[in-house]
Amino acid sequence: MKNRINQLLQQVQDMQATNAEELENLRIKYLSKKGEITALFGDFRNVAADEKKEIGMLLNNLKLQAQSRIDELKEQVAARTQQEEKQDLTRTPDPIALGTRHPLSLVREEIIDIFSHIGFTVAEGPEIEDDLHVFGMLNFAPEHPARDMQDTFFINKEKGIQKPTDILLRTHTSSVQTRVMTSQKPPIRVLCPGRVYRNEAISARAHCFFHQIEGLYIDKNVSFADLRQAMLYFAKEMFGPDTKIRLRPSYFPFTEPSAEMDISCNICGGKGCSFCKNTGWVEILGCGMVDPNVLESCGIDSTIYSGYAFGLGVERITNLKYRVKDLRLFSENDVRFLTQFESC
Ligand code: PHE
């Protein structure tokens, strides 16, 4: 009996298990109802009376040793599985919180993409500009009200005197067009996206800065029909194939003739609703044929070349597309607003 106990003690001390299944097999082998140690307890009654005390102690010790070795192995196995889980390269990764694109960026990219299919490339220019590029070369008369301090943020301006070198924040991205016209030869086909500034009180419908995309096409024989066709293409791509356009006569110093363009209301489909004030139409952009005075002041021969230009507000298009009623939401950085726009 003593020998058997010592034999088992040795076996118990040498027990090894690499996983839960092996461990359970060991427990069954030694400690379960039919286990080898349990069997020895059964044989105990046959032990001679004078040996009972000693053997009993050895037996109890064996049982304790077996139990504690199994507990030890259990901890090892648990630690190992945890480690393996950490290193499981096949595990689905935890999702990373991705940011979303700003709605104005989404719409700007969409507009640029639409015009890129008919040959327009992007041109950029400075937000801090001089009077010459924002007004002077664009046929604004010196006393034109848009040049007034009420509308324009001047950075330096001598009181009363209007100079081409006055420094200001651009009020439209037409200034980029004058820079392109003076540095490139026709044919010119550019889109000028960017931020513009106007001295307006901030409200739900107006802000002191907003975003524009202006377009310019100059070549031989460019006509108003070309302008209309390009605008119709844009409206259908942006607002759906059933969209209709309407051009109303208007005035801009740098285009002649000039027009304001409406699209059939994309909310009621032209039937009339509160959004389009029951007219069925909503205004989306200004456009026209580049005034020959502008071409000449930029060094382009207006007897050979003609062109069209258009300008739209990105906020306006975004409002129509996503029904954002309050302009201020675009610049408040409220994540509850921003995360509603899918990234792509
Ligand atoms: N520059 C004009 C604006 O800021 C928009 C425009 C551009 C109109 C080109 C006609 C042609 O309002």
User: Which residue's alpha carbon is nearest to atom 10 within ligand 1?
Assistant: 287
Q: Does 288 contact ligand 1 (Cβ within 6 A)?
A: yes
Residue-level length of the chain: 344
> What is the pLDDT at residue 318?
93
Distance from the CA of 287 to the center of ligand 1, in angstroms? 6
Distance from the CA of 56 to the center of ligand 1, in angstroms? 103
Q: Does 177 contact ligand 1 (Cβ within 6 A)?
A: no
**Cross-strand partners of 249:** 259
> What is the pLDDT at residue 315?
94
The Cα 178–Cα 191 span in angstroms is 12
Burial class (CB in 10 A: 0-12, 13-18, 19+), 177: buried
Q: Does 172 contact ligand 1 (Cβ within 6 A)?
A: yes
Q: Does 214 contact ligand 1 (Cβ within 6 A)?
A: yes
CA 122 to chain centre: 20
Q: Which atom of ligand 1 is nearest to the CA of 171?
A: 4
Omega before residue 253 within 30° of 0, cis: no
Distance from the CA of 335 to the center of ligand 1, in angstroms? 32
Q: Which atom of ligand 1 is nearest to the CA of 215?
A: 9
Distance from the CA of 249 to the center of ligand 1, in angstroms? 14
Burial class (CB in 10 A: 0-12, 13-18, 19+), 94: exposed
The Cα 4–Cα 47 span in angstroms is 13
Stated as kind and residue range, the H or E segment containing 49 is: helix 49-86
Distance from the CA of 146 to the center of ligand 1, in angstroms? 12
The Cα 19–Cα 317 span in angstroms is 63
Torsion of CA 38, 43, 47, 52, to 10 degrees: 20
Per-10-residue mean pLDDT, the chain, length 344: 88 88 90 89 86 89 91 88 76 80 94 97 96 93 76 81 85 96 96 95 90 97 97 96 95 96 88 87 95 96 97 93 88 90 66
Distance from the CA of 342 to the center of ligand 1, in angstroms? 30
> What is the pLDDT at residue 298?
95
- Spatial CB neighbours of 78, under 8 Å, sequence gap ≥ 6: none
> What is the pLDDT at residue 156?
80
pLDDT in tens, 4-39: 888 988 998 899 988 889 989 999 999 888 888 988
Whose tokens are 């082998």? That residue is 29
pLDDT in tens, 203-219: 888 899 999 999 999 99
**End-to-end CA, the chain:** 77
> What is the pLDDT at residue 217?
98
Q: Does 139 contact ligand 1 (Cβ within 6 A)?
A: no
